[in-house]
Amino acid sequence: MSESYIRAANVSKVYRSGSADLVVFAGLSLEVERGEMLALVGESGAGKSTLLHLLGGLDTPSEGTIYYGSKEISGLADSERAEFRNREIGFVWQIHYLLPEFTALENVMMPLLIRGEPHARAALESEARLDEVGLRDRAWHRAGELSGGEQQRVVLARALVGKPSVLLADEPTGNLDFRTGEMIFELLEGLHRSHQLTSVFVTHNLSFAKRCTRVLSLEKGGLVPGRSYGSHPGGGPEYL
């Protein structure tokens, strides 16, 4: 039987909007098995990114709890959650958030330097991750000198340099053309396997979603299994 690693238990997120409360979702529960590659789909504004932020410890639920194994991260102090994120979670965003004045190598090194790793060790690990995403020859180029696809590969290297157990990605191909997006997703699939990750992807790309282990759709504040609507040109189902 597979082991549940990430668990959201009766999670609610409410924002105050003027004199009213904006309820994103209430009483939502989710379990992600260790080693799973889960796609979260749904309409814009449904709360997918909010849920991903909660799972990543970037925000705290209004009610409910988030667990990694037996560890409740939603109750940790801000500094403890930050340390947990640095060691256990790799993040990939639609916007790369690279520091333009730094090289690709320096950007990848940042999580390890924040952790307190010696500079030489951080550089060695970062070079290995850049090599893994095919960018060893671009390591000393500044972020602004790289193409969109190359920048996103730097983001993948940065996400994995700390050897996390979990990868969380929010529209990782959203700003890329189809061909480059396909290359990035194939790279994500390979890295998920080779690093034995547990991955959660938020995506609007239905052809990418169907290649994940499982698809869940966030609808009206609840999670439902991704439903099949006709056929994808490649022969597989399209998901909502």
Could you give the domains of the chain? 35-58+78-239 (3.40.50.300)
Give bridge partners of residue 28 from the DSSP assignment. Answer: 11
Q: Which tens digits make up the pLDDT trace of 92-130?
A: 988 888 999 999 999 999 999 999 999 999 999 999 999
Pairing between β-strand 198-202 and β-strand 166-170 as defined by DSSP bridges: parallel
Q: Which tens digits make up the pLDDT trace of 208-218?
A: 999 999 999 99
CA–CA separation, 75 and 70 (whole Å): 12
CA–CA separation, 236 and 92 (whole Å): 26
pLDDT at 2: 60
Enter the tokens of residue 234: 């490649």
Mean pLDDT, rounded, for 171-200? 93
pLDDT at 240: 43
At 94, the amino acid letter reads Q
pLDDT at position 160 over 60: yes
Backbone angles phi, psi at 119, to 5 degrees: -55, -45
In three-state secondary structure terms, 222 is: strand
Enter the tokens of residue 177: 């053309």
Instruction: Kindly give the residue spans of alpha helices, DSSP state H, lying in the chain.
Output: 48-55, 78-88, 104-115, 119-132, 148-160, 178-194, 206-209
